[in-house]
Amino acid sequence: MITKATFKHFFRSLTLVLLFAVMAQTVNAQGFLAQKDLSQFKVEMLSEADISKIKERLQSSELSIDQIKTQTSAKGLPAAEFEKLRTRLSATNNATNTIGTKIESVQSNREGNTTSNASSFKEAEVAANSLVFGSELFQNAGSLTSNANIATPLNYEVGPNDILKLVLYGIQEFATELRVSYEGSVTVQNVGVVRVAGLTIEAATDKIRQQMARTAYVSLRTGESKLSVTLSNIRTIHVTIIGAKKPGTYDLSSLSTVFSALSLAGGPSPIGSYRNIELVRNNKVIRKVDLYHFILNGDQTDNIGLKDNDVIRIPAYENRVELNGQVKRPGIFELTGKENFQNILAFAGGFDEAAYTSNVKVIQKNGRELLVKDLGKEEFASYAPQGGDVYVVSKILNRYQNRVKLTGAVYRPDTYQLVEGMRVSDLIKKADGLKEDAYTGGAQLFRLKPNLVKEMVNIDLTKALAGDKTENIYLQREDELYVSSVLDLRDSFNVKIFGEVHNPGKFTYADSMTVKDLITLAGGSTFAANKKVEVARLYKQQDGKLNNTEIATLLTTELDANLNFTPGNSDIILQPYDVVSIVQKR
């Protein structure tokens, strides 16, 4: 029989079990990422629905599982539990990939045009934003995230939820980890409560050492023991970011800085300022951040540490200008009201190698229409840019200021520098002189007239090189001197051979060439060749007239198979355009 006392005990136990289950479910439903202390958290407590919610939150914030490792580590989540969480999230991804692929294939047929237009719009927006100077810093979310795996930094300010590791060594030994309470204090065994919130880690160490030395740890006072205080785990702070691409309140480690917070938020929005970012603490602007100092000089003066409940406000930009053309980094640049065009040029990295640097085109807006202004080099340092200005840097001309050319029968045909007072003979000396085959009776100088039409001037090189000033004339820009070769002036003489030779055809004529030489060049006669060799020759004309009515003659000789002349026959010296024939045996 169940007594009344037994029933009360059973009812109380059942109520506690149900209450614990409800609390566990409530914790899971709230999402483990929102909890401040994860040191006792177990991944096994999460249901599949909870895992799905975590995955959805990661996707909406565009964070990977690796990027939240810093946050969970700051809240005390053990490394082993984090690896369990990674495994469960990966398993969820694999399970949903197949279903997701099918859904996407169905939706793609329904949303073809809409998706295409939205994608094109987003690509255009990304491309436009990438022109803004400094936007490249935030192309990858979290690219400037602070490193949480570092030694305790100097001047770190201790706050609630920090875990301090105390190690006493020497005559007395003692080690423990102490969590800073919400009231800002830690409780040291045999010492009592020590308030440390708001102190730097160095000041907190001194205060703890003094109180321990006055109580149970007297060896600290005599120096026989030493005390080390470090951060075992860092707390989480809440920072609100306004005016970013992904505005909102972020849970960050207490080691986070302005730059790391901006990076997680994707940087300034398309209309956000890069040069007038405000850090608001306790409702007061304590710092104005200019990202250009960091981008241009690597100056991290503005990259200060954040505190709980800080607000980073990114206002809209006031003035921007655009610089296009032949500069190293074309883009859109923000002004603070103090810059001149020389500063804008420095933001763009300066002119590139092909830039026309004497003048820059400025397109201005007066509220009604566009204006064009030519900005001379002497005005670069004094011109005050106006918001909306567009600067265009042109290319240099594709022409030479001081070029002359020398080609033909010289040792070094090339392009040369034109100097004042330079003559034809000076140009030839620069080319190491004339070749042996140079024709000195006349060289051709091609010169541009004022209307850019070419004219040709004949130069007697013999006289020019001898110093005759009428031939050794001054050179002008873009002059081209061509020296002919006597070899180029000769006719291209040849002779031909046909019939019973191995390689019949046309051959280049050479002085004193004979019939036997030509047969040898043609590979010799064939087995079927006749001994008789015929040479057809044209008569030369003198003064355009023939000496007689005949225009050609036929010469004959005989050779045996060994190319020896038979008795009574001799070799024939060939002349240009002779035609040699060897017929077949009959």
DSSP structure string for 122-133:
HHHHHHHHHTBT
Task: Show the tokens assigned to 208.
Answer: 């703890």
Mean pLDDT over each residue of the chain, to the nearest integer: 83
Lowest mean pLDDT among 69-83, 98-112, 199-213: 98-112
What span, in angstroms and rounded, lies between the C-alpha atoms of 296 and 309?
Answer: 30
What span, in angstroms and rounded, lies between the C-alpha atoms of 56 and 47?
Answer: 14
The type of residue at 323 is L
Domain's final residue, options 69, 89, 110:
110
Taking only Cα atoms into account, the Rg of the chain, rounded to an integer number of angstroms, comes to 47
Residue 192 within any structural domain of the chain:
yes
DSSP structure string for 553-582:
EEEEEEB-TTSPBPTT----B--TT-EEEE
Which structural domain range is residue 538 located in? 494-584
Which residue from 385, 389, 314 is spatially nearest to 135, judged by alpha carbons?
A: 314
- Higher-pLDDT residue of 5 and 79 is 79
Same domain, 277 and 227: no
Which residue from 201, 95, 211 is spatially nearest to 156, judged by alpha carbons?
A: 201
Strands (E), 366-477: 370-376, 390-393, 403-408, 414-417, 443-448, 454-459
Bridge pairing between strands 443-448 and 370-376: unpaired
Angle value at C-alpha 293, between 292 and 297, nearest 5 degrees:
110
Which residue from 571, 299, 104, 515 is spatially nearest to 290, judged by alpha carbons?
A: 299
Domain's final residue, options 199, 234, 269:
234
Residue 268 within any structural domain of the chain:
yes
Contact 476, 424 (CB under 8 A): no
Q: What's the confidence (pLDDT) of residue 330?
A: 94
Same domain, 370 and 433: no
Q: What's the confidence (pLDDT) of residue 55?
A: 76
Within 10 angstroms of residue 524's Cβ, the number of other Cβ atoms is 15
Residue 143 phi/psi, 5-degree rounding, is -65, -20
Same domain, 14 and 37: no
Task: Show the tokens assigned to 176.
Answer: 């423990």
Distance of CA 17 to the CA centre of its chain: 62
DSSP structure string for 39-53:
TT--GGG--HHHHHH
Alpha carbon dihedral 41, 47, 53, 56, in 10-degree steps, equals 100
Q: 444-488 pLDDT, tens per residue?
A: 999 999 888 999 999 999 999 999 999 999 999 999 999 999 888
Angle value at C-alpha 297, between 292 and 299, nearest 5 degrees:
80
Same domain, 523 and 479: no
Which residue from 300, 298, 291, 301 is spatially nearest to 262, judged by alpha carbons?
A: 291
What span, in angstroms and rounded, lies between the C-alpha atoms of 293 and 490?
Answer: 73
In which band, very low, low, confident or very high, does the pLDDT at 101 lie, cut at 50, 70 and 90? Answer: very low
Contact partners, residue 294, CB within 8 Å, separation at least 6 = 259, 300, 302, 303
Same domain, 101 and 19: no
What span, in angstroms and rounded, lies between the C-alpha atoms of 239 and 247?
Answer: 11
What span, in angstroms and rounded, lies between the C-alpha atoms of 227 and 434?
Answer: 91
In which band, very low, low, confident or very high, does the pLDDT at 521 lie, cut at 50, 70 and 90? Answer: very high
Q: What's the confidence (pLDDT) of residue 550?
A: 66
Same domain, 203 and 245: no
Same domain, 498 and 577: yes
Element (H, E) at 178: strand 174-179
What span, in angstroms and rounded, lies between the C-alpha atoms of 307 and 238?
Answer: 8
What span, in angstroms and rounded, lies between the C-alpha atoms of 457 and 527?
Answer: 60
- Whether pTM > 0.75 for this model: the answer is no
Q: 156-178 pLDDT, tens per residue?
A: 888 888 889 999 999 999 999 99
Distance from the first to the final alpha carbon of the chain: 147
Q: What's the confidence (pLDDT) of residue 541?
A: 59
Same domain, 499 and 580: yes
DSSP state letter for 20:
H
Task: Show the tokens assigned to 456.
Answer: 């040709």
In this prediction, residues 524-529 reach a mean pLDDT of 90
Domain's final residue, options 393, 412, 446:
393
Q: 174-206 pLDDT, tens per residue?
A: 999 999 998 999 999 889 999 999 899 899 999
Residue 141 within any structural domain of the chain:
no
Same domain, 415 and 482: yes
DSSP structure string for 384-407:
---TT-EEEEPBPPSS-SSEEEEE
Residue 220 phi/psi, 5-degree rounding, is -70, -35
Same domain, 418 and 345: no
Q: What's the confidence (pLDDT) of residue 96?
A: 44
Q: With 50 as the cut, is the pLDDT of residue 244 above it? A: yes
Same domain, 429 and 466: yes
Contact 349, 298 (CB under 8 A): no
Q: Which residues pair with 529 in a beta bridge?
A: 584
**For the chain, how many structural domains are there in total?**
7
Which residue from 135, 146, 138 is spatially nearest to 71, judged by alpha carbons?
A: 146
DSSP state letter for 379:
G
Residue 156 within any structural domain of the chain:
no
Residue 195 within any structural domain of the chain:
yes
Task: Show the tokens assigned to 426.
Answer: 């000076």
Residue 556 within any structural domain of the chain:
yes
The 3-class SS string of 268-327 reads: ECCCECCCCEEEEECCEEEEEECHHHHHHHCCCCCCCECCCCEEEECCECCEEEEEEECE
What span, in angstroms and rounded, lies between the C-alpha atoms of 23 and 32?
Answer: 13
Residue 398 within any structural domain of the chain:
no
Residue 508 within any structural domain of the chain:
yes
The type of residue at 408 is G
Q: 332-374 pLDDT, tens per residue?
A: 999 997 899 999 999 999 999 999 999 999 999 988 899 999 9
Q: Which residues pair with 174 in a beta bridge?
A: 168
Percent share of the chain, pLDDT over 90: 53
- Higher-pLDDT residue of 352 and 107 is 352
In this prediction, residues 513-533 reach a mean pLDDT of 92
Domain harbouring 507, CATH code? 3.10.560.10
DSSP state letter for 172:
S
Same domain, 50 and 4: no
